[in-house]
Amino acid sequence: MSKTERFRLADPRTQVPMPDRAGRLFRSGVEGEAIDPSSRFYATMIADGDLLPATKTPAQLSKPAAATGRPVAKPAKTAKGERE
């Protein structure tokens, strides 16, 4: 069995049917799809720059920013000094 890796569409507006999944469309978004990058179809798309490695997994996307240890930005002040 081949190793799968997560890739996302370079242009989320693109619609790509997945031949290994009965033509289901490739999901757009940062989490992407788990695919076999050694497959001729996907290897060609990766080489052409149409697929990029997904940077985050669905589990990482579901965590709020504060839970990751990053500070949460305060709303900017308006010209009147009020917070938005």
Dig out the tokens for 54 from the structure: 């997904």
Residue 48: inside a domain: yes
How many structural domains are present in the chain? 1
The predicted pLDDT at position 72 comes to: 57
**Assessment of whether the complete model's pTM goes beyond 0.85:** no
Residue 40: inside a domain: yes
Across all residues in the chain, what is the average pLDDT? Answer: 81
**Helix (H) or strand (E) segment spanning residue 31:** none
Residue 83: inside a domain: no
pLDDT in tens, 38-78: 999 999 999 999 999 998 655 554 555 445 555 556 666 66
> Which residues are paired to 77 by β-bridges?
83
Whose tokens are 């997945």? That residue is: 18
Residue 79: inside a domain: no
Structural domain of 9: 5-63
Query: Can you tell me the mean pLDDT for 2-11?
Result: 93
Residue 84: inside a domain: no
Residue 71: inside a domain: no
